[in-house]
Amino acid sequence: MADKVVKLCCNTILRRYGTAPAAKPNSDFIPKQYVGPSYQKTEQVKSAHIPPAMYNIYKRPLLLHQGHMQYLFDHEGRRYLDLFGGIVTVSVGHCHPKVVGALQDQINTLWHCTNIYRHPKIYEYVESLVSKFPGDLKVVYLVNSGSEANDLATVLAKAYTGNLDVVSLQSSYHGYSSSLMGLTATQSYRMPLPVPPGFYHTMLPDPYRGIWGGCRDSLSQVAGACACPGDCVTSDKYIHQLNELLENSIPAGRLAALFAESIQGVNGTVQFPKGYLKKAHQLVKKYGGLYVADEVQTGFGRTGDAFWGFENHGVIPDIVTMAKGIGNGFPMAAVVTTKEIAAAHAKATYFNTFGGNPMAAAVGQAVLEVIEEEELQKNCKDIGAYFVEQLVQLQGVHPVIGDVRGKGLMLGIEFVKPGTKDALPVAEVSEIHENMKDLGVLIGRGGRWSNVLRIKPPMCVNKQDVDFTVTVLDQAIKEYMNNKK
């Protein structure tokens, strides 16, 4: 039945595109037959009961049914290459057998007891996790989401420093809770409501759109960018802007922390000029604050050269937050910090009902083991480099691609009006996005103007997947251009 459906889909695409669709890489996996509610029923339920803020990303939404490693299957059995990993969350592969097995074993043993009791999995996992960190980062809080992790990190920073003001970068995303809307500096995620005082946003050091440009830690550079052998010369200019914020807007002695991702995720894979984060960390320490590294999207080997994104910047943070890939889709997150900072938190009692539950700890341990056993960090480095090379070649063919950037398997493709840096209108980017979905590739969107395709797949993807993706992107852009004529 699935083969028949796929053949019908291919025939439809052939009529639409005029050429045969790119051949998907082979897979022997056969999905289960779908037995859930009809597509029409899901439309009715969404209309009646799902909040309207949870929008459809496609004109023709998908009803996904099953996942296997780098692939997802819809209710009709059609296979898609997943390049977004559930928003950078599926790290080692959909339903990876080792992770599934660890969860099944734990479900049959102990689901939940809270961490006010001791259970072995939390201790096994915490010891494995801290072994991945440099320096004095040895104390672990296990929580449930990236937003919760970043919220706790603000509490720790304020408790330790005794200061109240927190700085983040423009266009950053750090969560959606009522307090973190102040920390998040992306307008589309800011409700028109008051947020707690004490949050400030410094200039984004963006080599592509920033006023001073710069060179970044990527195989792909902005056209005409400098090629500094060490720290980028522009980093000092962006640091000067941070210093101006600290000198003018924040009362003396009030800085608690700087929050920064190693590579901005939601904002479309924005990297910083080389040396910026290291210098920002030094400046923040001078003013009595802490550096909090948000590794929710960049952690667990995704950037290739290092296990944590901050290691690529030559800096050791005071606090690190992580989520998403930590559990390969299972809801868990963590905050890692030093004993001294954690001691300041003992001014009040703390517990977390679900954080560090036996199931999450078992899953987290299995994920760490798979990353090591299957050399997924190395795969991110090797396949990511190959991916960038292929995308840069495609950029030379299609002027609508303004920038290719990123590191490892955290990449971005920014679309612009040809000959300019003006963002391609959302409707036109959506057409390319939809075309790719119809051709069998699911990919993310992001950036201030939603004009960036975000490539953050399960870390098990291979060269065949890259070749398929590049062919599909080429076809999707050509179809978009044909429709503009």
Tokens of 159: 């408790």
Question: pLDDT value at position 287?
Answer: 97
Which is nearest to 454 in space by CA: 417, 409, 412, 426?
Answer: 412
How does strand 333-337 pair with strand 139-143?
antiparallel
Q: How far apart are CA 133 and CA 363, in angstroms?
A: 19
Q: What percent of the chain has pLDDT above 90?
A: 89
Task: Give whole-number Cα distances, 423 to 33, 47, 216, 401, in Å.
Answer: 42, 31, 21, 10
pLDDT band at 262 (very low <50, low <70, confident <90, very high): very high
pLDDT digits (tens, 9 = 90+) for 317-348: 999 999 999 999 999 999 999 999 999 999 99
Six token digits for residue 252: 């003396």
pLDDT for 1 equals 42
3-state secondary structure of 261: strand
3-state helix, strand, coil in the chain (%, to 5): 40, 15, 45
Q: Tell me which residue of 62, 30, 91 sits closest to 296, measured CA to CA.
A: 91
For range 251-258, the mean pLDDT: 95
**The two structure tokens encoding residue 198:** 């004490």
* Confidence bin at 116 (pLDDT 50/70/90): confident
Identify residue 290 by its one-letter amino acid code: L
Residue 117 DSSP code? S
| Least confident window among 45-59, 131-145, 158-172, 425-439 | 45-59
| pLDDT, mean of residues 213-241 | 97
pLDDT tens-digit profile of 86-98? 999 999 999 999 9
The closest alpha carbon to 437, from 78, 92, 93, 90, belongs to 78
Q: How far is CA 380 from the centre of its chain?
A: 14
pLDDT of residue 21: 78
Cβ neighbours of residue 186 under 8 Å, at least 6 residues apart? 171, 172, 173, 266, 267, 448
pLDDT at 14 over 70: no
What amino acid occupies position 178? Answer: S
160: CB partners within 8 A, 6+ apart: 290, 340, 341, 344, 345
Supply the pLDDT for residue 114: 83
pLDDT at 9 > cutoff 60: no
The single-letter DSSP state of residue 69 is B
The partner residues of 79 in beta bridges, in order of sequence, read: 73
Q: What is the pLDDT of residues 375-390, one digit of tens each?
A: 999 999 999 999 999 9
Please report the pLDDT score of residue 8 as a whole number. Answer: 44
Give the Cα separation of 56 and 375 in Å (integer): 35
At 411 the pLDDT is: 98
Tokens for 223, please give them: 């056209």
- The model's pLDDT over 275-323, given as tens digits with 9 standing for 90+, comes to 999 999 999 999 999 999 999 999 999 999 999 999 999 999 999 999 9
Tokens coding 381: 């480095």
Identify the band that residue 6 occupies on the pLDDT scale cut at 50, 70 and 90. very low
| In contact, 256 and 289? CB cutoff 8 Å | yes
Task: Specify the pLDDT at position 2.
Answer: 44
Q: How many CB atoms are located within 10 Å of the residue 197 CB?
A: 8
Structure confidence by residue, pLDDT tens digits, 47-88? 999 999 888 999 999 999 999 999 999 999 999 999 999 999
pLDDT in tens, 161-192: 999 999 999 999 999 998 899 999 999 999 89
Q: Cα–Cα distance between 187 and 289 in angstroms, integer?
A: 26
**H/E element holding 257?**
strand 255-261
Do 129 and 123 form a contact (C-beta atoms < 8 A)?
no
- Give pLDDT, residue 18: 57
Collapse the DSSP code of 75 into the 3-class scheme (helix H, G, I; strand E, B; otherwise coil) and give the result: coil
* Range 243-264 average pLDDT: 96
DSSP H or E segment with residue 11:
helix 2-17
At residue 405, φ and ψ (nearest 5 deg) are: -150, 170
Element containing residue 414 per DSSP (H, E): strand 410-415
Q: What is the mean pLDDT of the chain?
A: 95
Predicted confidence (pLDDT) at residue 230 exceeds the cutoff of 80: yes
Q: How far apart are CA 147 and CA 6, in angstroms?
A: 39
Tokens of 377: 């960090």
Q: Residue 345: is it exposed, middle or buried by C-beta count within 10 angstroms (0-12/13-18/19+)?
A: middle
Taking Cα atoms as reference points, which of 478, 466, 475 lies closest to residue 81?
Answer: 466
pLDDT in tens, 26-39: 999 999 999 999 99
CATH superfamily for domain 2-92+376-484 = Aspartate Aminotransferase, domain 1 (3.90.1150.10)
Q: Where are the beta strands (DSSP E) in 53-177?
A: 64-68, 71-74, 79-82, 139-143, 165-169
Tell me the C-alpha distance between 210 and 217, whole Å: 16
- Residue 265 near residue 248, CB atoms below 8 Å: no
**Domain boundary assignment for the chain:** 2-92+376-484, 98-373
Angstrom distance (rounded) from CA 179 to CA 183: 7
Tens of pLDDT, residue by residue over 196-218, are: 899 999 999 999 999 999 999 99
- Looking up tokens 């947020």 gives 195
* Euclidean distance between CA atoms 305 and 309, whole angstroms: 9
Q: In this structure, which topology does domain 98-373 adopt according to CATH? A: Aspartate Aminotransferase; domain 2 (3.40.640)
pLDDT classification of 5: cutoffs 50, 70, 90 = very low
Sign of the torsion angle spanned by Cα atoms 383, 387, 388, 390: positive
